[in-house]
Chains A and B, each alone.
Chain A
Amino acid sequence: MTRGKSEGRRSRRRLPIPGVVLLAGSVLAALAVSGAAVAEETQPVESLRLLPGNPQIWGAEASQQFLLLARFADGLERDVTGQARFDLSDPQVAEVDAAGKVVARSNGRVVLTAAFQDRTASTRVVIDGISEERPFSFARDIGAIFTKTGCNNSECHGGVKGQGGLKLSVNALFPKEDYRWITKGGIYQVMSAEAAGEQKPRIDLQDPEQSLLLLKPTLALPHGGGQRLNPESASYRTLVRWIRDGAPYGEEGSEEIARIERLEVLPREVVLDRKGRHRLLVTAHMSNGRREDVSEQVLYESNDHEIVEVDEAGVVTAKGIGESAVMIRAAGQATSARFGVIARPLPRYPEVAKRNYVDEHVFGKLERFNIIPSETSSDSEFLRRICLDLTGTLPPADRVREFLSSVDPDKRDALIETLLNSPEYVDYWTYFFSELLRVYSGATLNAEHALIYEDWVRKNIAANAPYDRMARERLAAQGFSGPAWSYWTFRDLTPVPEIATEQIRVFLGRRLGCAQCHNHPFENWSQDQFWGLAAFFGDMTQIMEVEKIRGPYFVIDDIEGHGRRKDRSPAKILHPRTKEQVRPSFPDGSVLPDSRRRDLRMRLAEWMTAPENPYFAEAIVNRIWGHFFGRGIVEPVDDFRATNPPTHPELLKALSRDFVDHGFDLKHLLRTILRSRTYQLSGQANETNRDDKVNYSRALPRLLEAPVLLDAITRATGVDSELVVSDEPDASSGAPPGTRAINLIPGMVPSPFFEVYNRNDRRGVPENKPQLTLLQSLHRLSGPTFTSRLTREGSRVDRLLKEGAGDRRIIEDLYLSAFTRFPSDRELSGLEAMLAEQPSRREGLQSLTWALVSSREFVHNH
């Protein structure tokens, strides 16, 4: 189990607050007294860190930049490299400049000491291989220049279609192709491997300075991208030298050339105050096991310029309060560092109670980011939230009273278990996975088949089947089985790449649609990798009994073609650029051997769901986290990519590992999240977390999804929804009374409510989370859900009136049913007074019911 590593090495003074619940009031009072942060210069330093620790510098002219970080009395660690004094134990071995850069002179060991105020920090530096020249590599030496200058970024020549005919791969990910476009010339075409136009090299071996490659970016010739290269720069001289040397590729036939295998950034997470500046160090881990300081050769980019800016040296400057990643790219690799900009440091950060490792991660980051989490939720808040999240229902008034009055200290954990084992849980999570796996009824997937498919989902949820098994069954489904219908929803018209894209989105959380036509512009996924995966769906065929127009159909991987109808033969998967038939292969490039070429989709499913495949568990963990918090650790939840880093990478890893270790047990995952204090925090903001939207420092409101909202209205008003179930558009029948809206399959329920609230039809990606629209406001004013329903006999108000209940009792009952809480005294007296003024008591209570189900408090889970 991963635990927060922040404990112990923090020197921050703690407020001794006893007890489990954080007393936010007193802490905030203490904050107010401490006032604004003391200016950095006048603050004493508590400790120093010198980064990187004990590095080895290798090779001729090699250098290493160092960073000196000082932790001040206000608890913040700041970059003081610029104000530090550096000193080396042996000037013969290396030199250090005022900015903290050490340049190797001869092999040996030295000690670097950095001093700031009255403190010092030091580290040992080993210098080796000083006489060895690093062999030239086009990818490293030339590709790096294109990356550094931005020539190959996705807005310029790295774009999908290249720019002005010249195509470079993003980050020099595919150096061989870049080399070809530069040395052979021609105009890039997206859908063909052939170059168009005249094949004229972009370099001039006879007269290097006259190369197009140099004339354009220096603006000697007009260039749409403006000046990118200064003729005085080192990069320019490197390019000229390379062309003069005959423009070699340099890596052919050589095993010894080191490639960058991984980038490491220091620090990975930085907290800045509003005036903060901080430099980043980037180390390349090479394929030969060595490390290299590449801080000056990589491209830095801020993901949110309103929060931080970064210059080309990797110095990050705070711009506004909030959180942003800084992306770092170098030849074929990308990494990121996370920056938080805070209003002011909290030197007296309170002790925050934690319940499990989820809290260790979330609260650990909150402490580093100087945000205090809200208090634990009230029982009312907790009860409403968990019932909606876990069962999609509101608890009845009696159950609310019961829970609120219970004094059992373990009642929350007990409730979690009760709900996890309830029939409503099965209903709701069947709905959840039917949304994800697209159970719908339509022209090609009729109601009967949709029900078979949904039944398969339901059985898996009811049995709490291991998620990996469920995924394999779905991916590899054959014949008439429930999940085989999932492929039918794509119809025989849907091309194989669309099917593949969808499986990768659902099970691996990645949107690889772009890679169909070109290498993914924001991802380290190539077109070849995509088509290798798509080829696993290439044996699929759909067989139909001709005499029955509506089925049965079945799906089968049928290589030999037994019983296949001619027009439904397996698709030949052709690579769109090379036009060659693609063989099924995994993203690491390994091709599925012919001996294993049976049941192709199962081979893919095995790879996808293997415990070693980190993508699979992370994708579902993130999706479920997103369900409970309204925001994924990676957001959007199905958009994992290098340029969209997670806000809590360690938490995501820990949850995924735990999930895998527990046999992909969904209930275990849910329980772990739900028992955390993080999930159980109140929505009530404090001074420090009011504007936090990404760190889970409090519960944020989430709009209810259309079917859940409709069920909630049913519960609160006490009137069943008149739901219609239909197989055919014209032949509909009423669903049995008590049917829950979440149990109805889209396509079978013509409903004006769903139309207005834009229920997910499960036919495409629901682009937006539930959203507010004008039509909804209109529907609330005059739609039947909010009008005729309220006057119906047998409604909650009607029943209470017939029982002879007084206003106070009725108001209380309505509040408990709609908001899972008692009305406040102010609300109670205000409403009683208003009711007394109404000409008709009944109509007044109907108006109140309308107001409750129309309110913001009602339509959100919070």
Chain B
Amino acid sequence: MKRQERVQEAWPHLRGRREFLRVGALSYLGLGLSDYFQLSSLMASPNAKKAKAQACILIWMHGGQSHLDTWDVKGNSGFKPISTNAPGIQISELLPRVSRHMDKLSIIRSMKNESNAHSEGTYYAMTGHMPTTTTRFPSVGSVVAKELGTRTSVPAYVTTGRGRLNSRSAGFVEPHYEPFIIPEPGAKDFKVTDLVLPDEVSVDALHARHAFLKLVDERYRQMENHANFAKVDSYNERALNLITSPAVRNAFDLSQESEKIKEAYGPGRFGQGTLLARRLVEAGCRFVTIDGWNKEAKHDWDTHYRNDYYVKEELVPPLDRALSTLLVDLEARGLFESTIVLVMGEFGRTPNINPGRGRDHWGHCWSLVLGGGGIKGGQVVGASDERGAYVAERLVTIGDLFATVYKALGIDWTKTYLGPGRRPIYIANSIGDKQGEPVHELV
């Protein structure tokens, strides 16, 4: 009730801003786009404004990153630990650049996944739930989009692809919070699908089309009050704005970055995707998921075969480069304090080396790193046993991780959404359907 009053109060002010983002004759509604976005952010969590963090970048270690060769180096790793700029914290020698910024990041070494299989494990890591045949759960990105709303005309939740088992989707939550899906950044002809008009459609033709549509829709619009015209109108208007607004196009346009910075992030979809994530966050996006491996490398983090070779030659160097550059870049632009950076995959790798010199899936204990957005850096949370096989200290669940991210973003992490069959579902769901708790060492 109160929130609605606030919206009402804000109304005259909002109307005054119409000129700013006008779409001209194609505006179907009495309300301009800027109003729309203002409204949706007013509807969002009231705490969000007080929080330091405004956005989150998730770099996804698709396939399951070997924790033993990156963040939790043990005697059974083929690589050596090195010291970092954070006192007492050691990481793999494969991450020399990141080692100079460990004061900005914290490592959780006691993560656990309920599954050892990619699809199920990914689903669990993205939603906090094992996949079931009866309910589709919302991904962490969709929850953030729903709770925080949009900041600008840039979509709130952007991801490369839907992820295994459609794990990056909105699940049972309204489709309004489905991710905005983009193709792989880094490709030569990279452009966001459907965001650029094809050559055969001129802006004039676009106007002509809408003039025809207005006439064609007229009869049904009068006849049917259950055909969601209002919703379609608002989406159509937003879509048109996305295509015509320079702000949005610019956000996705990597060509506006200098060669130097592109080079610094590294080539391919990993480096360029990380750069794009920064651009999107800068332009107002709330949650970006990008893939943390290069297609050219022809190998993801699923190193069943020749683990050490792929880790050393193909997988970790781009990570070292992109992540360290991102941290520096965010800081230089004053975005680090408002942007959470989260690097994780679905699980870790086995402590043992298999006959193919690879490491297999290992969900029992693994590591991830996160920092920025007010999350304390230079910390290590939890510990694995001497082989990195099992959690030795302070188990942290996916639900705890989500609660941490939500808290940093000013979202009430204790919230539940009503799922199918009136079942309340924690947005930070932990093992055994318990509510996750923020990692107090970090937030």
What residue of chain A has the Cβ atom nearest to residue B419's Cβ?
A767
Q: Does A347 contact B (CB under 8 A)?
A: no
Report yes or no: B215 in contact with A834, Cβ–Cβ below 8 A. Answer: yes
Nearest CB of chain B from residue A728's CB, rounded to whole Å: 15
- Measured between beta carbons, the chain B residues less than 8 angstroms from A772 are 175, 228, 231-232, 235
Give the one of A755, A777, A843 with max B CB within 10 A: A777
Given A522-B421, A763-B166, A767-B171, A784 contacting B219 (CB threshold 8 A): no
B194/A838 in contact, CB under 8 A: no
Name B197-231 residues within 8 Å CB distance of A.
Answer: 197-198, 200-201, 205-206, 208-213, 215-221, 223-229, 231
Cβ of B218: which chain A residues have Cβ within 8 Å of it?
827
CB neighbours (8 Å) of B210 from chain A are 851
Q: Which chain A residue has the least Cβ–Cβ distance from B134?
A: A513
Give chain B nearest CB distance to A6 CB in angstroms.
28
Cβ-based interface call for B178 (8 A)? yes
Residue B236 CB within 8 A of the other chain:
yes
Determine the distance from Cα of A856 to Cα of B214 in the docked complex, in whole angstroms. Answer: 11
| Known contacts A639-B421, A765-B134, A781 near B243 by CB under 8 Å | yes
Q: Once the chains bind, are B224 and A764 in contact (CB under 8 Å)? A: no
Q: What distance in Å separates the Cβ of A789 from its nearest Cβ neighbour in chain B?
A: 10
Q: Are A774 and B238 in contact (CB under 8 A)?
A: yes
Known contacts A764-B165, A788-B200, A855-B220; decide if A501 and B133 are in contact (CB<8 Å): yes
A396 an interface residue at 8 Å Cβ cutoff?
A: no
CB distance from A436 to the nearest CB of B (A): 12
- Decide yes or no whether A505 CB sits under 8 A from chain B: yes
Q: Is the CB of A701 within 8 A of B175?
A: no
Chain B residues with Cβ below 8 Å from A737 are none
Chain A residue numbers with a CB within 8 Å of B135 are: 513, 764-765, 767
A514 and B212 contact, CB distance less than 8 A: no
Report if A16 contacts B (CB, 8 A): no
Interface size class of B (residues with CB under 8 A): 35 or more
A712 to chain B, nearest CB (A): 15
Which residues of the other chain, B, contact A767 by a CB distance below 8 angstroms? 135-136, 171-172, 420
Task: Report the minimal beta-carbon distance from B204 to chain A, rounded to whole angstroms.
Answer: 8
Is B181 at the interface (CB under 8 A from chain A)?
yes
Contact at A501–B235, with CB atoms within 8 Å?
A: no
Name which residue of chain B comes closest to A814, CB basis: B216
**Which B residues are CB-close (under 8 A) to A844?**
208
- A613-640 vs B, Cβ < 8 Å mask (1 yes, 0 no): 0000000000000000000000010010
A763 to B123, CA, bound (A): 12
Which B residues touch A830, using CB under 8 A? 215
- Contacting B at CB under 8 A, from A729-787, are 752, 755-756, 758, 761, 763-765, 767-768, 771-784, 787
Does any Cβ of A come within 8 Å of B346's Cβ?
Answer: no
| In the complex, chain B residues 166-212 whose Cβ is within 8 Å of any chain A Cβ | 166, 169, 171-172, 174-176, 178, 180-181, 193-198, 200-201, 205-206, 208-212
**Chain B residues positioned under 8 Å from A779 (CB to CB):** 194
Q: Are A765 and B136 in contact (CB under 8 A)?
A: yes
A380 to chain B, nearest CB (A): 12
Q: Does B283 contact A (CB under 8 A)?
A: no
Q: Does A100 interact with chain B (Cβ within 8 Å)?
A: no
Minimum CB distance partner of B201 in chain A? A787
Cross-chain contact A857 with B119 (CB below 8 angstroms) = no
From A761, A783, A855, B194 is in contact (CB under 8 Å) with A783
B-side contacts of A763, CB under 8 Å: 131, 165-166
CA distance in complex: A643, B205 (Å): 53
Chain A 841-862: CB-based contact to B (< 8 A → 1; otherwise 0): 0011001101110111100101
How long is the Cα–Cα vector from A767 to B173 in the complex, in angstroms? Answer: 9
Nearest CB of chain B from residue A503's CB, rounded to whole Å: 9
Interface residues of B in 308-328 (CB under 8 A from A): none
Contact A847 B134, beta carbon cutoff 8 Å:
no
In whole angstroms, how far apart are the Cα atoms of A693 and B197 in the complex? 39
Which residues of A118-177 have CB atoms within 8 Å of chain B's CB atoms? none
Output the least CB separation between B227 and chain A (Å).
5
Q: Which of A106-114, A655-663, A683-691 contacts the other chain?
A: A683-691
Q: Are B200 and A755 in contact (CB under 8 A)?
A: no
In the bound complex, do residue A684 and residue B223 qualify as a contact, i.e. CB atoms below 8 Å apart? yes
Any B CB within 8 A of the CB of A243: no
Contact partner, A514, options B166, B169, B231, B423, Cβ 8 Å: B423
The answer to whether A782 touches B119, judged by C-beta atoms less than 8 angstroms apart, is: no
Q: Are A636 and B226 in contact (CB under 8 A)?
A: no
Residues in chain B near residue A701, CB distance under 8 A: 224, 226-227
Shortest CB–CB separation between residue B432 and chain A, in angstroms? 7
Q: Which one, B115, B169, B205, contacts A843 given CB within 8 A?
A: B205
Q: Nearest-CB distance from A189 to chain B (Å)? A: 10
Which residue of B has the minimal Cβ distance to A763? B165
- Assess the B119–A443 pair: CB atoms within 8 A: yes
> B175 contacts A768, CB within 8 Å?
yes
Q: Tell me if A493 counts as interface (CB < 8 A to partner B).
A: yes
Our pick among B200, B217, B229, B235 for the contact of A787 (Cβ within 8 Å) is B200
- Identity of the chain B residue whose Cβ is nearest the Cβ of A160 in the assembled complex: B433
Q: Which residues of A contact B238 (CB under 8 A)?
A: 774, 777
Q: Contacts A493-B117, A782-B201, A856-B217 hold; do A685 and B212 have CB atoms under 8 A apart?
A: no
Given A787-B200, A856-B217: A636 and B420 within 8 A (CB)?
yes
B260 smallest CB distance to A (angstroms):
32
| Contact, CB under 8 Å: A522 / B422 | yes
In this complex, what residue of A is CB-closest to B117?
A: A493
Interface centre among B155, B211, B239 (most CB of A within 10 A): B239
Segment 408-440 of B: residues with Cβ below 8 Å from A: 420-423, 432-433
A777 touches B232 (CB 8 A): yes
Interface: B258 (CB within 8 A): no
Q: Which residue of A lies closest to B173 (CB)?
A: A767
Judged by a CB distance under 8 angstroms, whether A824 is at the interface is yes
Flag if B132 contacts A781 (CB, 8 Å).
Answer: no
A776 and B238 alpha carbons, distance in the complex (Å) = 11
Q: How far is the CA of A775 from the CA of B238 in the complex (A)?
A: 10
Whether the Cβ atoms of B232 and A856 lie closer than 8 Å is yes
B120 interface residue per 8 A CB criterion: yes
CB pair A781 B224 closer than 8 Å: no
Residues of B within 8 A of A784 (CB): 198
Taking CB atoms and an 8 Å cut-off, the chain B residues in 113-161 that contact chain A are 115, 117, 119-120, 131-136, 155
CA gap between A485 and B94 in the complex, in Å:
45
Q: Which residue of the partner chain, among B197, B211, B216, contacts A857 with CB atoms under 8 Å?
A: B216
The CA of A855 and the CA of B197, in the complex, are separated in Å by 20
In residues 461-510 of chain A, which contact B (Cβ within 8 Å)? 493, 498, 501-502, 505
**C-alpha spacing A843/B211, complex, angstroms:** 13
> Does B240 count as interface, using CB distance less than 8 angstroms?
yes
**A773: chain B residues within 8 A (beta carbon):** 175-176, 178, 235
Alpha-carbon distance A791/B205, docked complex (angstroms): 13
Given the interface pairs A773-B176, A778-B242, A834-B215, the reply to whether A752 lies near B423 with Cβ below 8 Å is: no
Residues of chain A within 8 A of B101, CB atoms compared: none
Are B215 and A827 touching (Cβ within 8 A)?
yes
A20 to B33, CA, bound (A): 50
- Contact between chains at A511 and B178 (CB < 8 Å): no
Q: Is the CB of A827 within 8 A of B216?
A: yes
| Nearest 7 Cβ contacts at the A-B interface | A777-B239, A851-B212, A857-B220, A851-B213, A777-B235, A771-B175, A502-B133
Q: List 29 A-B contacts (CB under 8 A).
A: A191-B432, A501-B133, A501-B134, A511-B134, A513-B134, A641-B421, A683-B223, A701-B224, A758-B175, A764-B131, A764-B133, A764-B165, A764-B166, A765-B135, A774-B239, A775-B178, A777-B232, A778-B195, A781-B206, A782-B195, A783-B193, A827-B216, A834-B212, A848-B216, A856-B217, A856-B224, A857-B217, A860-B227, A862-B224
A-contacting residues of B (Cβ < 8 Å)?
A: 115, 117, 119-120, 131-136, 155, 162, 165-166, 169, 171-172, 174-176, 178, 180-181, 193-198, 200-201, 205-206, 208-213, 215-221, 223-229, 231-232, 235-236, 238-240, 242-243, 420-423, 432-433
Known: A764-B131, A830-B215. 14 other contacts (CB 8 A): A701-B226, A752-B193, A756-B194, A764-B135, A767-B136, A768-B172, A772-B232, A773-B178, A775-B194, A778-B242, A781-B197, A787-B200, A847-B211, A850-B212
